[in-house]
Amino acid sequence: MRLLLLSNSQTEGLRYLEHASRDIRDFLAGVTPHAVFIPFAAVTRHYDDYLAQVQGAFGPLGIDVAGVHAEPDPVAAIRNAAIIIVGGGNTWKLLRDVRLAGLLPAIRDRVMAGTPYVGWSAGSNLACPTLMTTNDMPICDPRGFDALGLVPFQINPHYLHGNPPGFKGETREERIAEFGVLQPRVWVAGVREGTGLRVEGARVRLLGNATCRVFRGTVPPRELGADASFDFLLEA
């Protein structure tokens, strides 16, 4: 199983996904360069516009990208995909629409068989057991919280430690701590902007220059850098 799970797609001063282009190129080296993109996390923009933006990022890497929304048989498109890409947006809508299209088992089977999966933000959340650690507002009913379950741990993308000056609401850490009280056996990786997790078989590596804050139950969180092993996240 091969997953590239990024926190974000846009970085100040850089083009779309430019901050991750080297990691994407390395991750997909040697793979047939034909990808199927799932744009269902988009809410306020047209899927074709989202697809064009992703094509603009992957095209220079030599990867052709087709949108699953334009396929006459989306399930067959996933089953025949050489690469599966899932973009960010609203995780609740993404999960709902992927479920309604019957794509959850097709994606899971394909990735478990070795097809590379690239996701960012909501697309990274979708690879987890549930969407319970997303940051997004529940704007629709996803017909259940269970997601792909490709990994046994949860991701909180766009992880921000602490609060901006003057903001007195709950911090991201406090929200994840609430999850930990009710789900004490589940690891949660707080993945900061500009970073991501690369999962290959039983190995997990942190990509990028920032650290990752890791949570589990009521145990004090750990701050780990790219030189640390993250393989423990795959422990059930």
* Residues with a known catalytic role: 121, 136, 158
Q: What token pair was written down for 77? A: 């498109």
Are the C-beta atoms of residues 13 and 204 closer than 8 Å to each other? no
Q: How far is CA 38 from CA 23, 65, 162, in A?
A: 20, 10, 32
Are the C-beta atoms of residues 134 and 176 closer than 8 Å to each other? no
The pairs formed by 57-61 with CB atoms below 8 angstroms and a separation of 24 or more are 57/15, 57/16, 57/17, 57/18, 57/21, 58/17, 58/24, 58/85, 60/21, 61/21, 61/24, 61/25, 61/28
**Total residues found in the chain within this entry:** 236
User: Which of 8, 221, 1, 2 shows the shortest CA–CA distance to 124?
Assistant: 8
